[in-house]
Chains A and B, each alone.
Chain A
């Protein structure tokens, strides 16, 4: 297909979507015939995957999305599609000797990344572990709820996407709806995901989360600064995951979990920069990765700083 053809195709789409009444009529007829409510427009239904779209098509889709979200949430929305910065490979380190299990990162993440409040989705899970058992997942608890943390005799291990260099989740995806970006972030194209959840079965870290129902976010809590492959509002029936706050880190900010952490347990940086803090930690601290034996090669490191 030439670029010209592609333009013609989008033009056709434009005309077609302008005939809004036709679409409404079609979905109403569909509902009456089958009882199914169709929650995506025809354009969304036939949209090709984001990576293969032309610049013009991408721009058009982003414009339409911004309008749609602005209308829905009553705020001016920005949907970025900023590409990776050359020469970056993001890495993360978490200091287990500092973490107090306060879960501030969990909620900062929910807010920043527009996770559904109901049904509830948390990209970060904090595991409470017993001091005498060490890092033992099978004796850990995510539902700990004491009046005050940290609890005597316990330590805490937050787990989110480990941003593997050798991710199983992207290999098993039947439609290439998820992939690793050149800066090392594993992302999902929410408009291409078919919701088969094969990636969830393949992920050894429980990092992938599914929109079991229609996601709900209160209007006043929505974050309008979004990225197409990151925190833009999702739809039901698709998988989502931590993106290292792609909308922030690609413009030089820290992920929001790093910023919120009250004890400075979370470190983030460019693995390709020998002067970075993350490289200092890898060189000088006792570092380990989770489930090393599976050869996922995470870019998320745990260490003991004190």
Chain B
């Protein structure tokens, strides 16, 4: 069984690493255990272990979910130029974008799972077995597209790597149609997630037609920002190869996305403040606070200011091509979007609540723990898949070397593998 060999090689390759690698894995595992024990606590006592209550009925979990849908969707940004315009240098990088997408969607699904009051009843949402309220509930659409996106990307990544392992050229007539589906699906997961919020007239803060476009543009900022930094780290510590031009090109595309994102944010702010209806109260709470309640003000302004600085850094060619300023910009835009799509999206929609009452929400320790656990699980999956991909694409691991390797120590290295990961 060739596929079994592929899997075995993957596992072997994963466990190959130095002290820092095992420190990283140990760290993630510890965080996962910490998060899991927090979740068990929540499972036994109920969601009362969170700080969510009737007034603010969604919080940190759903905020992280929304942000990660964006990260997952953003891989499309790299897929489009690579496959449609045959722009060579980006092509090998696409696979890493898809790996990021797979890991992020997995985290999204976990965040949904931990937010459920009765998680064991998840099967009620499945078609045939349960009663999926399709098409009227947008949540069922979201569930459907997220799972499809996960399966699709997982398949494409595995298929490409498996063929590289077999030293075969991948079959274009299989990959290309899937890529063509994955592009609208990537747009789809984020659009549907936006519609989930956007379609509720009860929550004025979300009930805006530009929510979906805003979701897409901000995702096109945050997703590649994660990747820019990851590429540089991988380039340093592994045999991953990527040219500077590719990084700069991605940064340039991000600058356009950032401009549109800022423009949309500005349009929304103008509409709300100039029309000055009673519904302005939610933006008021977000940007200036109401009375003594100024909890979100520091976050909203940081998000806005970081977004503007990052845009400038990415727009000016000089700072874009300087890795120091480029990385500062990437971190800033990441923080900016994390706030905007997390607490800045969920909390103001619920504060004040629909009857005008204030409940000030901040995540509880349980929520922070569970979230940390989920992020670690995602990073662990990402680490695993990236190591396999690097070994096969850049280090020449394939079916032949596997045969040779059979009895030999995998740590000793093989032809085409020169650099020991530190």
Contacts and interface: CB of A to CB of B under 8 A. Distances in A.
Interface stretch (A6-14, A137-145, A148-156): A137-145
Interface stretch (B50-58, B253-261, B373-381): B50-58
Contacts of A168: 200-202
Given A194-B122, A194-B125, A196-B115, A294 B278 contact: no
Nearest to B138: A172
Most-contacted residue by chain A among B43, B52, B118, B137 (CB, 10 A): B118
A175 B117 contact: no
Given A125-B355, A171-B136, A172-B138, A202 B200 contact: yes
Contacts, number: 160
Interface in A9-58: 34-38, 40, 45, 49, 52
A194 B117 contact: yes
Contacts of B350: 201
A200 B57 contact: yes
B200 A206 contact: no
A237 B118 CA distance: 6
B131 interface: yes
Interface stretch (A68-76, A103-111, A209-217): A209-217
A177 B117 CA distance: 14
Of B116, B121, B143, B201, the most chain A CB neighbours within 10 A belong to B121
Contacts of B58: 197, 201
Interface residues of B, number: 53
A211 B118 CA distance: 11
Contacts of A196: 112, 115-117, 139
Contact of B48 (A119, A172, A239, A295): A119
Interface string B24-65: 000000000000010010011111101011110110000000
The residue among B57, B136, B350, B356 with the most chain A CB atoms within 10 A of its own CB is: B57
Contacts of A62: none
Interface in B272-309: 278, 281
B120 A137 contact: no
A288 interface: no
A185 interface: no
B55 to A, nearest CB: 7
A206 B355 contact: yes
A35 B37 contact: yes
A236 B112 CA distance: 18
Interface string A238-269: 11000000000000000000000000000000
Contacts of A52: 131
B116 A36 contact: no
A174 interface: yes
Interface in A265-306: 294-295
A173 interface: yes
Contacts of B202: 168, 201-204, 294
A77 to B, nearest CB: 23
Main secondary structure of the interface of A (DSSP, over half): loop
Interface extent on A, as a size class? 35 or more
B352 interface: yes
A262 B112 CA distance: 45
A261 B127 CA distance: 46
B137 A197 contact: no
Nearest to B207: A294
B117 A201 contact: no
B132 interface: yes
B354 A138 contact: no
Nearest to B124: A175
A117 interface: no
A237 B355 contact: no
Contacts of B52: 212
Interface in B185-225: 196-197, 199-203
A195 interface: yes
A174 B54 contact: no
A34 B39 CA distance: 11
B40 A174 contact: no
B117 A197 contact: yes
Nearest to A237: B117
Nearest to B143: A174
Contacts of B130: 175
A213 B46 contact: yes
Interface string A159-182: 100000000100111111100000
Interface string B347-387: 00110111111000000000000000000000000000000
B120 A211 contact: no
B355 A212 contact: no
A180 to B, nearest CB: 13
A214 B116 contact: no
Nearest to B278: A138
Contacts of B119: 194-195
A138 B352 contact: yes
A98 B246 CA distance: 72
B254 to A, nearest CB: 31
A206 B202 CA distance: 10
B232 interface: no
Contact of A172 (B40, B117, B139, B357): B139
A214 B49 CA distance: 11
Contacts of A239: 117
B117 A195 contact: yes
Contact of B355 (A40, A159, A235): A159
Contact of B124 (A49, A138, A208, A209): A49
B200 A194 contact: no
A174 B125 contact: yes
B377 to A, nearest CB: 16
Nearest to A121: B54
Contact of A212 (B44, B46, B139): B46
Given A125-B355, A193-B118, A206-B54, A173 B137 contact: yes
A193 B131 CA distance: 11
Given A176-B131, A194-B116, A294-B202, A36 B140 contact: no
Contacts of B349: 201
6 contacts: A125-B355, A136-B278, A194-B121, A206-B54, A210-B57, A236-B117
Given A45-B121, A175-B121, A175-B133, 5 more contacts: A37-B43, A196-B116, A201-B58, A204-B201, A238-B118
Closest 7 interchain pairs by CB?
A195-B117, A237-B117, A213-B48, A204-B202, A137-B356, A212-B48, A236-B46
Interface of B: 37, 40, 43-48, 50, 52-55, 57-58, 112, 115-122, 124-125, 130-133, 136-140, 143, 196-197, 199-203, 278, 281, 349-350, 352-357
